[in-house]
């Protein structure tokens, strides 16, 4: 299989890029693909703690691009999931430490060895975003159902389109079904109407995201929560399987049967 390099981005900060990168990478790896997750947010290292690999960092992305170490020295292998690797970023550097050319070269090298490379992009539309996206083939845009996040997502999608990333697909994160039912939150269709982009998946707002981040254990490592199921579905869609989009709203009593498929 050819390697696919995907940038995970959003424009606005705090909408769940890192959580999504960590969980998608873990889910894809669990499904048997060889995955590298790259923390593209130089200077603000986070992906390592979400994945629970912070104690194993010796070399970073900056060391690789500067030639201080070899690529496979910086690839941290996750001992819990086969085929899952992380390239952490440097905490003591700034975003200027990695150039676009260096990122392209790194992506080309990773392409030889992996099925999927997921790049966690920094928030914003500056050089950091540009560099993390430059080596990617496709893009996943994370948005929450909030006006500011949707607006920033539109801007980011425009930039990704001009960088000729394709496909560019959307994950709507932190949906609160009860708020949507009350008409107090934008629903999936509203967001899609505004952004005019393909939907890759939806993730409900879920406590398990916080607890899994607390423990540094990706959700696929055993959580049975709705969010865990959502990420696993999304990973399957990324890999090309056809999985129906979750139904977050079912009967009027307020119990959710989260999957269309469950009702068969």
Partner 1 sequence: MLDFVSKFFKLERSKNVAKERLQLVLIHDRNDISPEILNSLKVEMIATIKKYLEIDEAGIEIELDRADRSVALVANIPLKNINRRTRGRSKRV
Partner 2 sequence: MIQLKGRKAGLLRCIIPSDISERQLLDEFADTIEKGGKVLLGNNVVIDMQERVFTPSLVVKIWKCFVEPSGCKVVSWYCADESSSKCLSDLGIKMEDEASKVPILSEKNSINGIEPGIFYTGNLRGGQKLIHSGDVTILGRVHVGAEVHAKGHVVVLGKLSGLVHAGCEGDNSVSVIAYSLESSQVRIGTKAGMIDKSSDFWSRPAVITVCKNEVLITGWPSK
- Interface ranges with partner 2 (CB under 8 A): 125, 151, 154-155, 157-159, 161-162, 194, 196
Measured at the CA of 52, the angle between CA 199 and CA 259, to 5 degrees, comes to 35
DSSP lists the bridge partners of residue 118 as 6, 37
Closest distance between partner 2 and the C-beta of residue 166, in Å?
A: 12
Q: Is 214 in the site for partner 1 (CB under 8 A)?
A: yes
Of partner 1, partner 2, none, which one sits near residue 117, judging by CB under 5 to 8 A according to partner kind? none
Q: Build a one-symbol-per-residue string for 68-107: x at contacts with partner 1 by CB under 8 A, - elsewhere.
A: x---------------------xxxx--------------
Strand order in the sheet with 35-39: 76-77, 84-87, 35-39, 116-120, 4-9, 138-143, 168-175, 198-204
How far is Cα 110 from Cα 56, in angstroms, rounded to an integer?
A: 20
- Both tokens assigned to 249: 């709203």
Question: Which residue, 12 or 33, is less far from partner 2 as judged by CB?
Answer: 12
Q: Applying CB under 8 A, which of residues 160, 213, 219, 234 lies at the interface with partner 1? A: 213
Of partner 2, partner 1, none, which one sits near residue 247, judging by CB under 5 to 8 A according to partner kind? none
DSSP lists the bridge partners of residue 170 as 141, 199
Of partner 2, partner 1, none, which one sits near residue 77, judging by CB under 5 to 8 A according to partner kind? none
Of partner 1, partner 2, none, which one sits near residue 211, judging by CB under 5 to 8 A according to partner kind? partner 1
């Amino acid at each position: 299989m050819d390697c696919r390099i995907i940038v995970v981005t959003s424009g606005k900060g705090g909408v769940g890029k890192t959580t999504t990168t960590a969980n998608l990478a873990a889910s894809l790896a669990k499904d048997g693909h060889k995955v590298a997750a790259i923390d593209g947010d130089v200077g603000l290292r986070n992906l390592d703690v979400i994945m629970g690999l912070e104690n194993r960092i010796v070399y970073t992305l900056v060391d690789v691009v500067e030639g201080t170490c070899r690529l496979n020295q910086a690839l941290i292998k996750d001992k819990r999931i086969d085929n899952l690797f992380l390239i952490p970023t440097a905490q003591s550097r700034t975003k200027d430490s990695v150039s676009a050319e260096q990122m392209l070269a790194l992506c080309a090298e990773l392409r030889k060895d992996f099925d999927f490379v997921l790049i966690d992009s920094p928030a914003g539309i500056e050089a950091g975003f540009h560099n993390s996206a430059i080596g990617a083939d496709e893009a996943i845009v994370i948005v929450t159902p909030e006006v500011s996040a949707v607006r920033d997502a539109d801007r980011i999608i425009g930039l990704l389109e001009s960088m000729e990333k394709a496909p560019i697909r959307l994950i709507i994160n932190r949906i609160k079904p009860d708020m949507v039912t009350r008409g107090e939150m934008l629903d999936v269709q509203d967001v899609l109407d505004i952004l005019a982009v393909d939907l890759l998946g939806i993730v409900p707002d879920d406590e398990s995201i916080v607890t899994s981040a607390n423990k540094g254990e990706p959700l696929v490592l055993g959580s049975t929560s709705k969010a865990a199921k959502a990420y696993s579905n999304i990973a399957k869609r990324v890999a090309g399987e056809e999985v129906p989009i979750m139904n977050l709203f079912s009967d009027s009593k307020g119990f959710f049967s989260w999957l269309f498929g469950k009702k068969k």
